A and B are shown apart, each in its own frame.
Chain A
């Protein structure tokens, strides 16, 4: 199983953070365009899912799959959006994404007074990136990311 890349979006639609571990095919657009496209897509899917649901939604949009990858989505009540792309064999990883938020994001960004919640997380946040990499590489679903 493989972890490809991670996006973190703020409530206002700005991409706060992007990291990739394995991404063989790069897009032709700029990164900025890609973030906008992703944010717009998530927004649309969310409202689509809400409107077409035959019963009351509890968690809303969780993930989607294509024939070669799976996009996992987690949104906090504060509107932070975590998007993790993995391969298809990954089951529901909502807990993992919540853990990513509570142990990594909250501990190393929210509790760091030098980071404002609106700032883009850049390479100065070494601890955050280090802990994130450690967290992701310790996941059982990560085991084959580097082998394939």
Chain B
């Protein structure tokens, strides 16, 4: 069989996704070794996610030239679920549980690729927020487009819940910096 034929037979997207899943797993395992407290591990995962998100947003906007600034939080939720998650994780979470003031919503993650081969151990391991990096990434990315949000998992399939639910809450809009000497 020629080389090009072999290449075509492998689903590249699938390979990279598994590689990503396993790399992330190795990474979480390493951090668990490095820190004694699970709370601290969660914090570190969030911080790493934040640093990724801050850069990822530019890549996202470069790939999706039609996405401009969002006019309201519902539009933000839409872009996040239908384009953001689709581009980077290959899934499209559903948006539910809008708060009455439209400043808070939930994303239901079905088939989250990060947790594909994962099981949480009993004991203190149950406190680990395995997907915390996603929260950090969302927070970092939205901060770059002037939205301050709070992000947390309220349900997690790894912890025996029926679904994985990510709650995103709008805190405030960050303002453009004024040039020095202007009001």
Partner-B contacts on A (CB < 8 A):
11-13, 36, 39-40, 43-44, 58, 76-80, 98, 101-103, 105-106, 110-111, 117
Contact = CB atoms under 8 A, between A and B. Distances in A.
Given A101-B62, A102-B63, A36 B177 contact: no
A102 to B, nearest CB: 3
Nearest to B146: A79
B177 A117 contact: no
18 contacts: A13-B177, A13-B180, A39-B179, A43-B176, A43-B178, A58-B68, A76-B61, A77-B61, A78-B57, A78-B61, A78-B144, A78-B145, A80-B58, A102-B63, A102-B65, A103-B62, A106-B58, A106-B59
A103 B65 CA distance: 12
Contacts of A110: 55, 58-59
The CB with the most chain A CB atoms within 10 A, among B146, B178, B179, B180, is that of: B179
Interface string B45-87: 0000000001101110111010111000000000000000000
Interface of B is mostly: loop
A111 B67 contact: no
A43 B67 contact: no
B182 interface: yes
A66 B95 CA distance: 49
Contacts of A80: 58
Contacts of A117: 54-55, 58
Contacts of A78: 57-58, 61, 144-145
**Chain B CB within 10 Å, residue with most, of A77, A105, A117:** A77
Given A77-B68, A98-B65, A102-B63, A36 B58 contact: no
A111 B68 CA distance: 21
A11 B58 CA distance: 13
Contacts of B55: 110-111, 117
Nearest to A98: B65
Contacts of B178: 43
